[in-house]
Amino acid sequence: MSLFIKKTAAVIAAAVMLGTALSVKLPTEVSKAAPDEYHDDWLHVNENAEIVDMNGNPVWLTGCNWFGYNVGSQVFDGVWSQNMHKMLNEIADHGFNLLRVPMSTEILLQWKNNEPDTMIKINEYENPELTIEGVQGGTPMYSFDIWNKAVEWCRENGIKIMIDIHSATTASSGHQVPLWYDSNFSTEDWIEALTWFADYYKDDDTVIAIDLKNEPHGKNDGQGMAIWDDSTAPNNWKHAAETCAEAILDINPNLLIMVEGIEVYPKFEIGSTWDSPSVDYAHYGDESKQPYYGAWWGGNFRGARDYPIDFGEHQSQLVYSPHDYGPLVWQQTWFEKDFTRQTLLDDYWYDTWAYLVEENISPLLMGEWGGFIDKEHDPTGDNLKWMTLLRDYMIEKRIHHTFWCFNENSGDTGGLVYDNFGKWDEDKYAFVEPSLWQDENGKFISLDHKIKLGQSGNGISLSDYYSGSPQPSTEDKTEPTPTSATEPSTVPTKPVEVPTSSGKGILGDANCDGKVTIADSTAILQALGNPDKYGLSEQGAANADCCDPGDGVLPSDALAIQKLDAKVITKLPELSEKN
């Protein structure tokens, strides 16, 4: 026992250090859902251009983006400092029912071929559940196993997942490459990666959608250009999207497939073609005489009116997915006036993407929208004005969306968290919260028929919502009830007397989630190492005193839970030899 305590003290002392280590391959079948276990939450598009569940009930996908797997971290960014499980809990508790996860073709093929990680950016002290040994400071799991832990924890929280291929090659600037292929990975590689992924999760409806490619773009300037027509040209996005989607849907016909737009579309009415110069310099500054209609990367759907995407027998799985940003990302021409919703519709939105929902052609999922709203970054308030206009339009038109982003390290938008991913930006969250799917009592609605959204008690399942079960409101839904490591930071010196299982307390359940797992051991060690940040509630501290009850919360209690999890002991409390 004393040896363990000494080791634990050393672990706690190092708990703030960043962990970066070579990983070891592990079997990757452990977290894969059993066949037929998760098969009731697939979504489809009906004849009214609504996304509906298996019973034909309309749903609203309202999520956020969390990147990292596309940039070389081999895991979500922020896991270098914070507990991944806790962050996923918080995303669900704040009401986001869908997580859009940028990936690369490269990392999917790495996982498919079981190739080793080069390095992986996790903090092993904050994330013992992501180590092979299950202890603080252990050896990081293989990145695919860590990803499957994320899938498992999303499932437990009622969060559904959509991945997107953000780039072919893993790189922080990979999204700047205009096409779905590059010099390292071909169109065939892209399709191989996504069909493998679809096959792996075909029995798990936690993964409900794939966004085929983030922001196809480019102009005819020699850098590469995504086009949209009826050809089979290698750079024809329509043809590539249909080909890739067909291969995916042959494997899992239930996945929603997001197809983004491109950047420019020729002004055929003035004689432009795809081969026109990118800029007519003779008329520079006169937008009406430029050869292309411009848009945000991935935002131009003018081609979808002339050449709609055709998924054949799987057309019910198609969702168009534009991206839209404000003047702090780029001062577009439609921001050069005192813009309103109507001017945005007239100057840009309607003909570029909004016609699809206004004319009831297709549902839309706004895959990226967001930005700074604070005075320091947005002194004129124009960015907040744009965000408000778009948010309210999406609410009115029931446009699905995934906010950009959870990460704080998005340079031109900021994120929902700050302080090294440790704190929520409550002002920005308060802005986004009205656009999240809620019932009349402010309960956040999951896309899962059985699992309520989050751990805070302010989420409900789809069955709850559509069965009409009464769901009492909470007084303050912007401050979710703390769970796990976010409980009030007080570790009582005297434990409260509770039975082993009283209905109010379960011995060993330090985070008060109703069960005893390795997460409770983590909660105890975090509370001991940094009580101001990771304290336990009074009930949690009482539950935590599970080794030699009565001596207070000690590292030995964390060890007892680890022994129980490893089946070294069969029940709690554990009594030492002295007792």
In the structure, what pLDDT confidence band is assigned to residue 522 with cuts at 50, 70 and 90? low
Amino acid code (one letter) for 387: M
For residue 514, the model assigns a pLDDT of 81
Number of H helices, E strands in the chain: 16, 18
| pLDDT tens-digit readout, 228-264 | 999 999 999 999 999 999 999 999 999 999 999 999 9
Contact 315, 284 (CB under 8 A): no
- Both structure tokens of 283: 């008329």
For residue 2, the model assigns a pLDDT of 31
Q: Of 442, 444, 435, which is closest to residue 462 (Cα–Cα)?
A: 444
Amino acid code (one letter) for 314: H
For residue 36, the model assigns a pLDDT of 52
DSSP state letters, 237-298:
HHHHHHHHHHHHHHH-TT-EEEE--BS-EE-GGGT--TTS-S--GGGTT-GGGSSEE--STT
Question: Which whole-number Å values give the CA distances from 267 to 16, 317, 383, 396, in the listed order?
Answer: 56, 30, 29, 31
- Which of 106, 215, 433, 487 is catalytic? The answer is 215
Token look-up 């309210």 returns 392
Q: How many CB atoms lie within 10 A of CB 558?
A: 31
Q: Please indicate whether residue 368 is annotated as part of the active site.
A: yes
Token look-up 């969390």 returns 66
| pLDDT tens-digit readout, 320-352 | 999 999 999 999 999 999 999 999 999 999 999
For residue 502, the model assigns a pLDDT of 35
- Both structure tokens of 354: 């909004």
Q: Of 326, 314, 70, which is closest to residue 173 (Cα–Cα)?
A: 70
Beta strands in 1-90 (DSSP E): 20-21, 44-45, 51-52, 62-65
Comparing 63-67, 126-130, 333-337, 510-514, which segment has the lowest mean pLDDT? 510-514
Helix (H) or strand (E) holding 78: none
Instruction: Please determine, for residue 1, whether its predicted confidence score (pLDDT) is greater than 70.
Output: no
Whether residue 154 is preceded by a cis peptide bond, meaning omega within 30 degrees of 0, is no
For residue 526, the model assigns a pLDDT of 63
The more confidently predicted of residues 492 and 194 is 194
| Across 18-35, average pLDDT | 42
| Across 85-114, average pLDDT | 98
Helix (H) or strand (E) holding 153: helix 143-157
For residue 556, the model assigns a pLDDT of 82
For residue 579, the model assigns a pLDDT of 55
| pLDDT tens-digit readout, 124-149 | 999 999 999 999 999 999 999 999 99
- Which of 368, 408, 487, 574 is catalytic? The answer is 368
For residue 516, the model assigns a pLDDT of 86
Q: Provide the whole-model pTM.
A: 0.77
Q: Three-class SS of residue 7?
A: helix
Q: Parallel, antiparallel, or unpaired for β 120-121 and 20-21?
A: antiparallel
Instruction: Please determine, for residue 299, whether its predicted confidence score (pLDDT) is greater than 70.
Output: yes
In the structure, what pLDDT confidence band is assigned to residue 91 with cuts at 50, 70 and 90? very high
For residue 501, the model assigns a pLDDT of 38
Q: How far apart (Å, rounded) are the C-alpha atoms in residues 394 and 380?
A: 23
Q: How far apart (Å, rounded) are the C-alpha atoms in residues 84 and 120?
A: 14
Comparing 42-51, 406-415, 570-579, which segment has the lowest mean pLDDT? 570-579
| pLDDT tens-digit readout, 48-60 | 999 999 999 999 9
Q: Of 135, 214, 121, 205, which is closest to residue 167 (Cα–Cα)?
A: 214
Instruction: Please determine, for residue 93, whether its predicted confidence score (pLDDT) is greater than 60.
Output: yes
The more confidently predicted of residues 509 and 126 is 126
Q: How far apart (Å, rounded) are the C-alpha atoms in residues 295 and 260?
A: 12
Q: How far apart (Å, rounded) are the C-alpha atoms in residues 40 and 327?
A: 41
Q: Please indicate whether residue 577 is annotated as part of the active site.
A: no
Contact 555, 39 (CB under 8 A): no
When computed from its CA atoms, the radius of gyration of the chain, rounded to whole angstroms, is: 25
Helix (H) or strand (E) holding 211: strand 207-211
Contact 279, 290 (CB under 8 A): yes
Q: How far apart (Å, rounded) are the C-alpha atoms in residues 70 and 169?
A: 8
Contact 556, 547 (CB under 8 A): yes
Q: Say if residue 74 is exposed, middle or buried (CB neighbours under 10 Å; 0-12, 13-18, 19+).
A: buried
Q: What is the mean pLDDT of the chain?
A: 87
| Across 209-222, average pLDDT | 96
For 523, half-sphere exposure in the C-beta direction (CA atoms, 13 angstrom radius) is 32
Q: How far apart (Å, rounded) are the C-alpha atoms in residues 195 and 203?
A: 14
Contact 196, 241 (CB under 8 A): no
| Across 443-460, average pLDDT | 97
